[in-house]
Amino acid sequence: MTPEEKKEYDRIYNEKNRERIRERNRKYKEKNKEKMKLQQIKYREDNKEKLKEDKKKYRENNKEKLKEKNKIYYEKNKDRDREKRIEYQKKYREDNIEIVRERIRKYKQNNKEKVREDNRIYTKSDKGYKIKTISSWKYQGLIDDYEKVYERYEYTLFCDRCRCDLDQSNKSRKCMDHDHDTGLFRNILCFYCNIKLNQLSNTAS
């Protein structure tokens, strides 16, 4: 038999006996489970660098595919794992606060334009506007139920004192009149009423 003939013979033999070979392989695997496992571990250990390199190459060559796969996995499990993920992220941030801070600092430094643009979009979004507004109240010394006060702030269209149309003027001109001793919110005023009120309280004291 020439090598060519032998090859052809093997091919036909394999085809004819496919089921039997499969069964034999299965049995062999079952019988040698532990041995094969050890072999596999040893192989992985002996070829650590090569496997690492292969993995990296695979990731590089299949970027889009993997991205898609991750996205599908994320969508599928986003609700199931949400609580767990948030908890994990919180703990990670707490345990690695210095690393996280450094990473953010570096990211900001390397992505100045993008960060600026993202900030601009975020501040314009409802959520971002709300957080920015509430933090400015805190800075002014207003201490109250911020959720409740913000709701009032959002739906107030007219100055509580002179009834002028606050929407006509600049939104940021809505002034949060509050008790300067307790911090508690009192009224939403236009810019001018707020100045007048401050002058009155200054002359009174």
Binding site for Zn ion (CB under 5 A): 159, 161-162, 190, 193
User: Nearer Cβ to Zn ion, position 161 or 186?
Assistant: 161
User: Nearer Cβ to Zn ion, position 176 or 193?
Assistant: 193
CB of 196 to Zn ion, least distance (A): 8
User: Nearer Cβ to Zn ion, position 142 or 193?
Assistant: 193
Residue of 171, 170, 177 lying closest to 193 (CA atoms): 177
User: Nearer Cβ to Zn ion, position 38 or 195?
Assistant: 195
User: Nearer Cβ to Zn ion, position 130 or 196?
Assistant: 196
CB of 195 to Zn ion, least distance (A): 10
Q: Tell me the C-alpha distance between 32 and 49, whole Å.
A: 27
CB 100 within 8 A of CB 93: yes
Q: How many CA atoms lie within 13 A of 195 on its CB side?
A: 4
CB 150 within 8 A of CB 162: no
Pairing of strands 175-178, 185-189: antiparallel
Residue 188's DSSP bridge partners are 176
CB of 163 to Zn ion, least distance (A): 7
CB of 158 to Zn ion, least distance (A): 8
CB of 174 to Zn ion, least distance (A): 10
Residue 78 vs residues 74, 86, 93, 184: alpha-carbon distances, Å: 5, 11, 20, 40
Residue of 129, 166, 168 lying closest to 177 (CA atoms): 166
